[in-house]
Amino acid sequence: MPFQLHFDEADLGRCRFALSPLWETQEAVRTLDRAYRHGYHLPWLRRIRDEAAALDLSPLWQLMPDGGHNPDFICPPPLGPLATFEEEIAGVRSVDPEVARADMALALADRPGGLASAAGQRMLADPARTVRELADLLERAWRTLVEPHWPRLRALLEADIAYHSRRLAEIGFERLLSELSPRLRWTRSTLTIVGTRGNHARVLGGQGLVLMPSAFVWPEVVGGYEEPWLPAVIYPARGIGGLWSEAGDRTPDALARLLGRVRAEVLCALDEPAGTTALAHRLALAPSSVSAHLSVLRGAGLLVSRRYGHQVLYERTPLGIALAASP
């Protein structure tokens, strides 16, 4: 039986996008353990290699069987669209130990010998202690693997949400699903994720659905969450192919001569919509300098801007796209 979520009319009006720094942390940990995910993230893997080697991530990996159940309490769907890591990890720390124990038992049962292993038995024997230890480990993983790169990751995720929110208004929910991933199918008010292992079916019952882009989840689409957590579907974010590339790698010399090297790099860095802070971090420039260049490029008709949440996102106009793609 495939993974299925059953909607009614109320659910369609309560679907929303969100992003989660805690989810990206969990998926970064998982990516380190799964070589088939490494292709898009080789520059990141090189940058965090030494720091990652100093982390003992085995307790988290023990609860991440490939294709099996992964504990929902480690990374519940965020309650708001712009939740901070601190807010999310506080939710992990406050989980009922018995809920966590049952969740961990499901994950260990999907790993050969997991329930009988010494590590698994230790986790289940004192779930309150295990929750504290896992939360501490997730926080160390966040500080080491994700937080230094969060402006770049957040820019990618926010750009994906801005794009797909616009597409939702243009084409509707059913057609949007096929754009999010070819593995999402919509038939008679039922959302199916094809190609998944295991059984999962849930009637949403008016709760709606949380849609979350992820930089690290590729090539998979992940869904689920049993009660009491909100149902969610996590899909690969647009633009991950250029996530770790540097501006200088994609700035044509002719464009640099026309606009000036830095201004051309700002234009070429906008493969996806981004804000001033994210661009400044990516280009290693002062935010004030990036802001000035963005204003000039927008005034020249090469960029447009719009507000999303707490920041202004810039994206290229058709003319800006044509210039950035020039040989």
- 3-state DSSP call for residue 115? coil
Q: What are the CA-CA distances from residue 283 to residues 213, 247, 270, 288 (Å)?
A: 23, 7, 11, 13
pLDDT at position 197 over 60: yes
Q: Report pLDDT for 135.
A: 97
Q: How many domains does the chain have?
A: 2
Query: Following DSSP, what letter does each residue of 224-241 receive, concatenated?
Result: E--TTSPPEEEEEPTTGG
Task: Let me know whether 227 and 254 are in one domain.
Answer: no
Task: Let me know whether 230 and 111 are in one domain.
Answer: yes
Task: Let me know whether 292 and 155 are in one domain.
Answer: no
* 307: CATH: 1.10.10.10
Element (H, E) at 98: helix 97-109
pLDDT at position 175 over 60: yes
H helices of 142-247, in order, are: 150-171, 173-180
Pairing outcome for strands 16-17 and 200-203: unpaired
Q: Of 236, 260, 280, which marks where a domain is finished? A: 236
Residue 241 pLDDT grade (very low, low, confident, very high; cuts 50, 70, 90) = confident
Task: Let me know whether 81 and 157 are in one domain.
Answer: yes
Residue 134 pLDDT grade (very low, low, confident, very high; cuts 50, 70, 90) = very high
pLDDT at position 1 over 70: no
Poorest-pLDDT segment among 124-133, 146-155, 201-210, 302-311:
302-311
Task: Let me know whether 74 and 222 are in one domain.
Answer: yes
Over residues 251-309, the pLDDT tens digits come to 788 888 889 989 999 998 887 788 888 888 878 888 899 999 999 999 999 998 887 66
Output the CA angle 246-250-155, nearest 5 degrees. 50
Task: Let me know whether 307 and 230 are in one domain.
Answer: no
Q: Of 236, 254, 273, which marks where a domain is finished? A: 236
Task: Let me know whether 150 and 261 are in one domain.
Answer: no
pLDDT at position 250 over 70: no
Task: Let me know whether 178 and 257 are in one domain.
Answer: no
pLDDT at position 319 over 70: yes
Note down the domain range covering 27. 3-236
Task: Let me know whether 43 and 71 are in one domain.
Answer: yes
Residue 90 pLDDT grade (very low, low, confident, very high; cuts 50, 70, 90) = very high
Task: Let me know whether 264 and 180 are in one domain.
Answer: no
Q: Of 198, 214, 236, which marks where a domain is finished? A: 236
Query: Following DSSP, what letter does each residue of 245-268 receive, concatenated?
Result: --GGGG--HHHHHHH-HHHHHHHH
